[in-house]
Structure formats: C-alpha cells, structure tokens
Structure 1
Amino acid sequence: MRKAPSTESPSEKPPSIPAFTGPETPSLPEVFSSVSIPTGHWPRKLFAFAGPAYLVSVGYMDPGNWATDIEGGARFGYQLLWVLLLSNWMAILLQTLSARLGLFAGRDLAQACRDYYSRPVAMVLWVFCEIAIVACDLAEVLGSAIGLNLLFGIPLMVGVVITAADVLLLLALQKHGIRRMEAMIVSLVFIVGACYVAEIFLAQPDWGPLALGLVTPSLNRESLYVAIGIL
C-alpha cells in the first residue's frame, strides 16, 4: 500500500517552545553557584543533591501543620489519614514540576510568572503569594511562641521576638554559603524526625485501622474543614 505524500517540507522543523524573555538573573544570586560532587560511593553523591530537599521538607514540619494534624487525629482518629497521604503526593508533584522548571528555564516560579504573564496578572499573583506567605509565617511564628511558652514558660511576645531573631540568624548564615544553612536545616530535620519516631513507639498505634485509613477515603461535614487545613 502506497502512503500519501507528506505535505511538510524536509527543512521544516516542529515549533519550538518559546523561551523566557526576562533578564538573565539567576534565582537567589547571593548563593547561586555550582555544587561540588564528591567522589566515592553513591550515597555521598546523593547527599550532595539532597540539600534543597531538606530545605523544602521544613515547610511540612511547621507548627501549623503539626497543630492541624494533631487536631485531626484527636477528633477523627485514623479517618483523615488518606487526606494526609494525598496531600503528600500533591506536594511531590508540585516540587517535581518546580525542579523541572528550574532545570529547563533557569528560573524559579516567581521569575517564570514575571516573564510569562503580563504585568497586571503578575502583580495580582504577587499579591496573592504575599498573602499566602504572611498567613503561613503567622502560623509558624505563633506556633513557635506557644511552644516556647509551654516548654519554658516564656511570654508569648518574647517568644515571637526569639522566633524572629532565629529567622534573622538563618538569613545571616545564608551569606556564608548555602551548605552551612543546609547543615543547620538537616540537623533540625533529624531532631524532629527522631522525636516523631519516639512518639510512634509511645503512642502504640493500631496498625490495622491505620492502614485502612490511608487507603479508604472518608469525609463528612465535621471533618471537612480539618481536611482542608491538612491540604
């Protein structure tokens, strides 16, 4: 059987993806640099790339997440575990897309929005992002202040000042290289992880209903708002 002749010229090429037209400014220029890859076994090489993952993981260990998850567990038991699993899969998808954007375009999400959208749309997105950042930071600052108050009896206002001071300390540490900040964050993540493992042994959960809650979607009017908070 003879094929119909192609109408495309051999010299024609498929349309290319339009490149971003913004200024050639890297994301976080104060820490923008190449990462040295150690020689040896693969775990050492993997750890060289794992720093950004630990920085991102802190966003899922803030007091706001802890408070929402604890409330969900205290009120509804294992019923909302599937929401927690779903939210983690969504987070993995979004972080993967963000990483691909950075690798392909050399832009972070904010720079890509500025380059791709018109100025009015970019300004609206900026306002929404600032509101989201303020809301997230407010929960983290208040959660840290309440934690200091419960553990050491420190007044809430003093706890807020201490929390703001340690944020400035981390920002100052960033000027000495991203590796030092990564080391600090990795230490904190391991401490939180160790506490979490200890809590699992102390709580002694019922593994059967726990596994069922992970794979069985269940939602009602009372648990809806807590599920939204977890997401």
Structure 2
Amino acid sequence: MRQFFKDLGPGLLVSAAFIGPGTVTVCSLAGVTFGYSLLWALLISVIACIILQEMSARLGLVSGKGLSDCIRDEVKNPIFRIITLILIFSAVVLGNAAYEAGNISGAVLGMEAVFSSVTFNIAGLQINMWSLLIGGIAFLLLFLGSYKKLEKVFIVLVLLMSISFLVTAILTRPDLTEVFKGFIPGSFDAGLLTIIALVGTTVVPYNLFLHASLVSEKWSGDKYLGAVRKELVFSLFLGGTVSMAIVICAAASNISNIESAADLAVGLEPLFGSSATIFLAIGLLAAGITSSITAPLAAAYVVKGCLGWKGGMQSKRFRLVWMLIIILGVIFSSLGIKPVEIIQFAQIANGLMLPIIAIFLFWIVNQASVMGKHKNNLMQNLVGSIVIALAVFLGLKSIFSVIQNL
C-alpha cells in the first residue's frame, strides 16, 4: 500500500487538470438542464479517458519521450511531417488558449463570489482585474519554476472541493432509481453540445501530451508498466466519480439557472449552509490556478517536441510559449463574455480537438519502432478504434449542428 501511494503522481495530475472550473461548470449545467440523464455520457467519457491516457502513459514509459517528440521522429515524409506538426501545433496552442481562458474565468468566478468585480480599460480593452491577477500568479509560478512544489497544495484544495461534492451528493438524497436510470443512454441529440462538453472536460487533449512527458520523467523502463496502469485507473476513476457527484448535486439541488459561483454554491448549501459560497470560491480558485499552470505548460512541451527544441523549462523559447498562452487566456477571459460561456466554449473546443490528437496517439502506439513488444495488441486496437470513432462522431455532429444554426 505504501508503494501504491508512492507511485501516485502523473495520474492524479491528469485528474486534477480535468477536475477544474470547467468540470464544475459543465457538470453543473448538465445536471441543471438534463438532470441525471447524461450520467451515461460521463461514464463513457471516463472509460474513454482511461483507454487513451493508458496509451499515452505507455508511450512515455516505453519511449522515454513525449507524444509530439515521437510524432516528429516517426513521420518520415517531410511534407506530411510539416503538415502534421502544424496541425498539432495549431490545435493545441489555440485549444489551450481557449482552455486557459476557461481556467482563469473559473478562478475569477471564485474571486467574485467573495469580492466584487473590478475592471479597468487598457487600450480600449476592458480587463477584469481578477483575470489579470490569476494570470499573474500562473505566470509567476511558471517563471520561477516552483510550480511542482505548490501543485501539492493545489491538489489538496481541489480534492477538498471534490470530497465536498461527493458528500453533498449523498446528503442531497437523490432518487437512486433516477440516478441509475441516468447510466442508460437516452435521447442522444437532446444534449449534444453538453455531451461533447462532458467528453471535453474529461478527456482533455493536452493531457495526452502532458501525461506521456510526466510518466517518462517519473519512471524509466517497462518494468513499471503495472504501477503506471494501477495509478492511472485509480486516479481517473476518482476524478470521474467526482464529476458524476457534481452532476447529481446540481440535479438534486433545484437550481434553475447558473451564471455565477453563487449559483453553483447552491448545490453545496445542504452540507455547508451559508459558508458554501466561500468554500466553493476556494475550490474554484485552487482548481483554476492549478489548471492555469498545466495548460500553458503542456502547450510549451508540445511546441518544444514539434520543433525539436533543446533545453528545459528555463529556456527562453519554452517560456515564450507558455507566456503567450497565459496572455491569450487573460485577454479571452476579459472580453465581457460571461465566464460560464467561456468555460463551456473551452470544453466544446477540447471535444473537437480530441479526434485529431487521439488519431495521432493511436498511430504512434501501433509503431513497433517506438513501442517494441508493448505496441497495441488486437484488443487494445479494437477498443481504441471504438473510442476514436466516438470522438470523431461527436466532433462531426457538433460541426454539423453549428453549420445548421448559421
């Protein structure tokens, strides 16, 4: 048991990344709008997440490299390599900029639940002071390179919020019959964009890049494959259970509309009473800051791998990438759009990015030149194909829905 807790790390960070403000908001909106009826979508998302993250973790362990490094090395045709890297570069950088805006906006919701909103104008652009503050904190932590030490504190705060939702889900005394019915797929089109958002908030594309890098740094050699898988399954099922608890809380708490952290706090009132808002504010702030660190960091690792840069976190080019992501996140979160809408958009953007990244991951883990005897077997390919087909289907349906609404 002691060894199991010692092995905890990369999987928990992946869970901490997707149990952020986006998860709280999207799962709450799903619960408010559709009750328990989309719990099945969350369960499928968690299973899909485990399947894809296992491939990513296995890749990092066996190859000792990140996903983008492997793609650059394995795509031999120079023209196709350039097209591929540009596609990944664009998807991750733009997607992470949107995701970063959602992370910062979620942390801002936490601040505004306790303090009033403060804005000021810079060159005609209205900037939210809290967005600037959160971006500044993420910037400082990454610049000093001390984020690893502070991440443990953030993870504790996120887990504290997570435990509160698990307990609250029990104390709200939901109708268990209805809850179990929620795990049976119903009307698929009724909440299409919400389903895509639920997938996006659980299977975060940048985590596929980040996880491979984290595993390659923590372990070396395929003898640790069992430990990697155990830690991954435990961590992601924990995260998935928390997401489901949030849906149940929102569905059982009679919330009619969600536009602020105060609205989200209603789901916690049965457990914490009037202190719910402050507690949720702390949780959202911690989740937002933690995610605000991992998103730009993952983007920097992706760009580094795509372009074959040398050097670590302290290199100027590496820093320039995460600085750009943070700046874009602050700007996007300050455009006067409601924070909940930004978070929703970020999750939908991630749902659309997922098929692109998943296909490249699937291709790489089938390369014997990279994976050796640990390349995908028949069953892994069958299950992986189903997951990718589901991701592609959701992405195409979303694009078609948007075109119809133009």
Partner Cα separation in structure 2 for residue 47 and residue 173 of structure 1? 28
TM-score (ref. length: structure 2): 0.43
1:71, 1:227 → 2: CA distance? 11
Shift of 1:69: 1.0
- Residues 36-76 of structure 1: per-residue CA shift (max 9 Å, x gap): xxxxxxx2221222111221112221212221111111011
Unmatched tracts of structure 2, length 5 or more: 76-80, 120-127, 200-406
Measure, in 2, the Cα distance between the counterparts of 1:58 and 1:154: 27
Partner of 1:229: 197
Of residues 120, 124, 143, the one that matches 2:87 is 124
**Structure 1, unpaired ranges of 5+:** 1-42
* CA pair 169-55 structure 1, distance change in 2 beyond 3 A: farther
- Aligned match of 2:173: 204
- Tell me the number of residue pairs that the alignment of Structure 1 and Structure 2 aligns: 186
| Conserved? CA contact 1:63–1:139, under 8 Å | yes
- Superposed CA RMSD: 2.0
Equivalent position SS for 2:174: coil
* Aligned partner of residue 162 in structure 1, secondary structure: helix
Change (3 A) 1:220 1:91: closer
Write out the 4+ residue segments of structure 1 that deviate beyond 6 Å after TM superposition: none
Residue 136 of structure 1 corresponds to which residue in structure 2? 99
- Is the CA contact 1:63–1:143 (under 8 Å) kept in the aligned structure 2? yes
SS where residue 153 of structure 1 aligns? coil
Aligned match for 2:110, one of 142, 147, 169: 147
For residues 90-118 of structure 1, the C-alpha deviation after alignment (integer angstroms, 9 at most, x for no partner) is: 11111111110001111111211222221
CA distance in 2, matches of 1:90, 1:56: 14
Which amino acid letter does the alignment assign opposite residue 156 of structure 2?
A: S
Partner-residue secondary structure (3-state), 1:194: helix
TM-score (norm 1): 0.73
Which AA in structure 2 matches 1:208? T
Which structure: greater helix fraction?
2
Q: Deviations over 1:112-167 (max 9, x none)?
A: 12222213321221111111111211111112112211232243612102211331
Q: Residue 48 in 1 paired to residue 28 in 2?
A: no
AA aligned opposite 2:36: Y
Give the Cα–Cα distance (whole angstroms) in 2 for the partners of residues 201 and 53 of structure 1: 26
Secondary structure of 1:192's match?
A: helix
Question: For residue 60 of structure 1, what is the aligned residue in structure 2?
Answer: 18
